[in-house]
Structures are given as C-alpha cells and as structure tokens.
A = this chain, B = another copy of it.
Amino acid sequence: MPDYIVIGSGIVGLSTAYHISEQDKDSSILIIDKYDGPGAGDTSKSAAAFRTAFTSKLNILLSSSSIEFYSHLQKNEKFDLGMRHVGYLFSLDKNNYSVFKKGLEYAEKLGVEFSEIENDYLQNNLGIKTDIEGSEEADIIGAHNIYKSILFKNAGILDPEKIIDYYYGKLKDRNVEFSYGIGIKEFIIEPEKPLGIEGEPFAWEEIKVKGVRLNDGTIVRANKKIISALGAWSNLYLNKIGLDSYSRPKKRQIFSIKADNNELKRILYSKGFNDENTMPFVILPKGVYIRPNPSENTFWIGLSDELGRKIELEDNPVAEENFYLYSILPVLSLYFDQFKEKNPYASWAGHYDISFDGQPIIYEPYESNLIISAGTSGSGIMKGDSIGRITASLALNKEYANLFDNTEFNVSWLGLEGRLVEKELLII
C-alpha cells in the first residue's frame, strides 16, 4: 500500500509528487492517470507561457518562485525547458487601460516590473497598426486605437513537456509507481474504524477518503493521503463524495499560424523587445493574444472568451474553426493586417480550470485525508512548482511551504478557511 496516491499526472500532480518525495524521502507514492503517460491532459494543451504579471499577491508569489525554479533548472542544472524571456506585451485601448491600470498599480506595489512602450516603437518594431479607428471594420467591431502598451520582462514562453519530463524523470528514480491508461471510477470513503455493518459509512462515523477504485475494478488505498490533482476533471469525482473544488472548466482554444512569408517573419522575429529577437507574447484589445512559437516558425493565437462560453467538461475538446474566423480573426487582422489572409494550419483545445478568484485552491476538506489541488485558472504551469510544494506541504501536515525562492507560504492562504482572496484581474 503506497503512502500517498496522487490522482492526475499533469503539472500539478507531478510537481506535488516530486515535492512529497523531496520532503518525505522514505515514502512511497502511486501516481494514477487515465492517459497513457504524464502531462497528456490539459497540461499539453497550454499556451505554454510564463509571467509574474498578476494582480493577486499570491499569484505573483507562486509564479515568481516557480519561474525562478525553472530558470534554475535551465541555467544551473542544464535541463533545457525551452524557456525564453520574450516578455509579455499588453496593448490596451483607452477603456481597457482604465481597468488595467488598477491591476497595474497593484502589481507594481507587489514588485512586478514593467515598462511602457510607445506606439511609434510598436509600429516600427512589431509592425502593429496602433491607429485603427475610422475604418468600417473597426467601427463594426467596436475596436479602438491602442492607447498604451505595457511590457513585462520577467515573462515569456517555455515548453511544458520539458517540465513534465523533468519531474517525471526524477520521480522514476524514486519510490514512485505509475499507473497509466486507466482512470479512476470513484474515491472510496470509509469509516476510520469500520464496524462491518451494512450501510456504512453512517453520518456519525469518522469518515475518511481511503483510496480509489479504478475503472477496471482495482481498488488501491493509501497509508497517508490521497491527492486529487484532477484539474478540470476534479468535480466529476469529488461531487460524488460531497466535495467540490470550487473551480470550473472552460474550453480554451489555440490556433497555429505559420510565419510563411516575410511580413509575418518580421513580426515573429521582432527586434528590440528582448534578447531573443522574438516578438513578445502580445495581448491585443478584446483579449486576442499572439504567442510566438519561434522553434516551429509559427504563431499561436488564442482568446479567452468568458460570458457565453459554456462551463463544461469535454473529454476531447475540439477547437472551432468558426471561433477563429469570426471571433478572433476580425480583431487580429485589424491590428495586424499581415494575418488577414492566413488560415490556421493546426489547432487544439483544452480547459482552464477556473476558480472563483483566479487563484489556485488547495485544501483538505473535513480532515478527510483527501487533498484537493485545483483551480489553476489558466496559469498552472507557470505556478506549477509552487503549487506542488504547497500541496505537498499540506499532505505532510505542514503549516508552511518553503518555495524555491525561500518564500514561506502559509498553506491555508489557498484553502477555503484562512484564504487570502484577491480576485485575479489578469486571467488571459
């Protein structure tokens, strides 16, 4: 019987298992995932970027330390994670900016660094059209000139698969077993001291989550704790035993465009924003974003739609061509007419697992032995190492987690009691 069972082998599950094994070296861990290998769920569908530009203090702490850890791996341990500090550029119209400013002031107080970029500079170096008002298209769309652009430097792109490889590789050499290809059917709840009476557990018994039943009928139990790292799938299983992650899945789509002409290459390999001679991750008014993917000579284009985008879990979410054509392209081509005639050559979709305040949710409900780690809200990879440390510390009954950058993080800050709620304004 393993000491710990971790359900879910995405970034949260692997990072948690890794840090449990760091902190409780003699322990045994079983990692379960319905996919055939690690990082095959929403982790693999990510826009694969990182930033410390958040408006909640906790999100800043989580991402800063995780990014420092990833940088350390890449620089000092020579484990290439594909990290490239291309920066994040928010280009805002006047209305956006008045909302954004609040978050910006707050982020600044919390030590997040940024600079303002002039429109002239953007036009020349990025090839973006900043003055678009007056055209019929702009009018129809209700799009406005770019008023301010803010560049965050401690931000960029990375390769989530490599982070998965890192944790997975380390875990393979430890006392960790992997069970891939079979999902769980349910969590098993039982009385702490079973009486052997039919109908158990009764409400007056001390009830614990003891293990899981897999879809093939196998039952596995843990000596110590069970960790639910199920992301968007969390509530499918939690609700059956009366628990909830208080986060919700929404489909998120990415469309890949080839930089197959000189105009587009000039955008992708923009100079003057970073040492990488690559465009920054750009967020346009109306939320359309462009994530440079220089290793494949492509752009990844996306948009997080909110009102009207169903809260729904799909096992195989599919990107919608019409979403690109009618919701993304009209905005994109207004600011970058270089994209006007371009069609995506590939697309994919995953979920964000969005919590009520945009911060992760990590707690053990009702002293049940079950730790819920969820609510990554679209920024789970860039916060992944910290989330794993905090979840591991909670599993080990510690009050504080020591983050990579030595921040002492009270595990209750992301719980439901003692939570520091600051609504995250920068969910992209």
Contacts and interface: CB of A to CB of B under 8 A. Distances in A.
Contacts of A142: 193, 204-206
A199 B308 contact: no
A182 interface: no
A24 interface: no
A311 B250 contact: no
Given A143-B204, A203-B327, A328-B203, A308 B357 contact: no
Contacts of A307: 189, 207, 209, 241-243, 365-366, 368
A314 interface: no
Contact of A305 (B203, B206, B239, B356): B203
B242 A199 contact: no
B310 A242 contact: yes
Interface stretch (A3-11, A397-405, A417-425): A417-425
Given A243-B307, A248-B244, A330 B202 contact: yes
Contacts of A195: 140
A141 interface: yes
B286 A204 contact: yes
A367 B346 CA distance: 34
Contacts of A286: 203-204
Given A204-B331, A331-B204, A306 B242 contact: yes
B246 A242 contact: no
List the number of copies, as a whole number.
2
Question: Which among A209, A330, A356 has the highest number of chain B CB atoms within 10 Å?
Answer: A356
A365 B307 CA distance: 8
A287 interface: yes
Contact of A242 (B203, B206, B250): B250
A322 interface: yes
A189 B366 contact: no
A414 to B, nearest CB: 12
Contacts of A239: 248, 310-312
Interface in A273-292: 286-287
A30 interface: no
Contacts of A418: 423
Contacts of A241: 307-308, 310
A168 B289 CA distance: 50
A207 B327 CA distance: 13
A317 interface: no
A254 to B, nearest CB: 14
B201 A308 contact: yes
A226 to B, nearest CB: 13
Contacts of A326: 199, 202
Contacts of A417: 423
A309 B322 CA distance: 42
A185 to B, nearest CB: 15
Contact of A244 (B311, B331, B419): B311
A257 interface: no
A146 interface: no
A412 B189 CA distance: 38
22 contacts: A140-B195, A142-B204, A201-B308, A202-B326, A203-B327, A203-B328, A235-B311, A238-B311, A239-B248, A239-B312, A240-B310, A241-B307, A241-B310, A242-B305, A242-B306, A242-B311, A243-B311, A244-B311, A306-B365, A307-B368, A357-B419, A418-B423
- The 6 A-B pairs with the shortest beta carbon distances in the complex, nearest first, are A203-B327, A417-B423, A239-B311, A203-B305, A246-B356, A242-B309
Given A235-B311, A241-B310, A244-B356, 10 more contacts: A141-B204, A142-B206, A189-B308, A199-B322, A203-B305, A241-B308, A242-B305, A242-B311, A244-B248, A419-B423
